[in-house]
């Protein structure tokens, strides 16, 4: 005779989903690609309880595929998962630090180029879209080639901001084509 199944409350379901980061603990699927269920590690049919230690987040495919069978491979313990999450978080922090340093370096380099332009036209700044173009050129060519292109542009078109910037872009695109980038 099979054990009677007690319904899980919405709160218990949500707590299990939250504990498991809304991710199937068997295959790694998560919404919106998968519909999540709460699965009994030790099936109710085999005497398993609704205790949170016996519950795990599962996608519908894994849960329905498992059925009322015992698992020979129990999902990793919460402490093992916590270690993995902490390691991932540390990697993300490291990646973010590297990307932020790159962004700051690119901004600094772009301002070096923009300052040549601003100084030529005795201006307080540069248009945001032009600054973004300078950043993209630096990413493709490097700061020295872009700085050289701006110096060429201000020496050839010193009377018009628009013509000067267009000339600068033309020089940079020419350098990109030359380099096959």
Range of the domain at 41: 10-75
Q: What is the pLDDT of residue 1?
A: 47
Place of tokens 């300052």: 115
Please give the pLDDT value at position 167.
Answer: 97
Instruction: Name the phi and psi angles at 116, rounded to 5.
Output: -65, -45
Verify that 60 and 123 share a domain, yes or no: no
pLDDT of residue 174: 96
Q: How far apart are CA 61 and CA 30, in angstroms?
A: 12
Statement to judge: residues 170 and 109 lie in one domain = yes
Number of separate domains in the chain? 2
Q: What is the pLDDT of residue 64?
A: 80
The whole-number pLDDT of residue 52 equals: 87
Mean pLDDT by 10 residues, the chain (181 residues): 71 90 88 88 82 88 70 60 82 92 97 95 88 97 97 93 96 90 52
**What pLDDT does residue 107 have?**
97
Compute how many other C-beta atoms are within 10 angstroms of the C-beta atom of residue 117: 22
Are 71 and 105 in the same domain? no
Give the pLDDT confidence score for residue 42 in this predicted structure: 82
Is 118 a domain residue? yes
């Amino acid at each position: 005779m099979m054990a009677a199944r007690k319904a899980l409350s919405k709160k218990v379901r949500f707590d299990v989903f939250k504990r498991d980061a809304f991710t199937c603990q068997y295959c790694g699927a998560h919404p919106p690609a998968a519909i999540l269920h709460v699965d009994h590690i030790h099936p109710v049919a085999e005497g398993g309880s609704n205790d949170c230690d016996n519950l795990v987040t599962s996608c519908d495919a894994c849960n329905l595929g498992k059925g009322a069978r015992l698992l020979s491979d129990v999902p990793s313990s919460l402490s093992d998962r916590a270690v993995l999450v902490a390691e991932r978080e540390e990697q993300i922090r490291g990646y973010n630090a590297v990307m932020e340093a790159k962004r700051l370096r690119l901004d600094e380099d772009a301002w070096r180029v923009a300052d040549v332009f601003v100084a030529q036209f005795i201006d307080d700044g540069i248009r945001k879209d032009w600054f973004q173009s300078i950043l993209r050129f630096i990413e493709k060519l490097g700061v020295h080639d872009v700085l050289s292109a701006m110096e060429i542009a201000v020496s050839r078109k010193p009377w018009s901001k628009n013509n000067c910037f267009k000339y600068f872009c033309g020089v940079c695109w020419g350098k990109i084509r030359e380099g096959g980038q």
